[in-house]
């Protein structure tokens, strides 16, 4: 999506990215980025929290209107929850998981090879 932002912006359309994967977006480099330190999935706010969502979209509009230079990141002041354990859990590889993940990767590569072979046949 950051690449789309860059393309639109290069062609005269102003953009704001609203998201939570800070390192990915900032590494790609975008004109305007509204960052919320939330788990991936609800960049506009917690499900069914209308007031929070409205506030976040409002902040995105502010950023769209007020930024004066590229790479302008604004972080919203909101917390997902008092419990931040989701940050440690997401896609975390611990030793108990290692064997299962390796087997999963192997199985996937086998299926992909088989699919390729079928396509060639």
Partner 1 sequence: MGDAGTTHRTAVSYIDRTREYYAAQGYERPYRWARHDEVPFTPLPKPLSDCRLAVVTTASPWRDEMPRDGVLRGDKAVWSGPSTDPPTRLFTDDLAWDKEATHTEDVESFVPLRHLAEFAEAGRIGSLAPHFHGVPTDYSQRTTCEQDAPEILKRCREDAVEAALLVPL
Q: What is the nearest approach in angstroms of partner 1 to the Cβ of residue 89?
A: 6
Nearer to partner 1, 7 or 120 (CB): 7
Nearer to partner 1, 47 or 120 (CB): 47
* Residue of 7, 79, 72 lying closest to 37 (CA atoms): 79
Q: How many CA atoms lie within 13 A of 86 on its CB side?
A: 11
* Residue of 25, 36, 21, 18 lying closest to 81 (CA atoms): 36
Q: What is the nearest approach in angstroms of partner 1 to the Cβ of residue 116?
A: 14
Q: What is the nearest approach in angstroms of partner 1 to the Cβ of residue 100?
A: 9
Nearer to partner 1, 94 or 121 (CB): 94
Q: Is 36 within 8 Å of 76 (Cβ atoms)?
A: yes
């Amino acid at each position: 999506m950051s690449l789309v932002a860059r393309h639109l912006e290069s062609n005269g359309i102003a953009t704001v990215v609203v998201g939570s994967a800070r390192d990915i977006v900032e590494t790609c480099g975008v004109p305007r980025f509204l960052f919320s330190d939330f788990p991936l999935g609800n960049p506009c706010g917690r499900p069914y929290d209308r007031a929070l969502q409205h506030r976040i979209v409002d902040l995105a509009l502010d950023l769209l209107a007020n930024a004066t230079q590229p790479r302008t990141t604004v972080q919203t002041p909101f917390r997902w929850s008092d419990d931040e354990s989701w940050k440690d859990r997401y896609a975390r590889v611990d030793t108990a998981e290692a064997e299962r993940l390796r087997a999963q990767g192997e199985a996937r590569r086998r299926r992909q090879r088989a699919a390729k072979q079928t396509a060639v046949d």
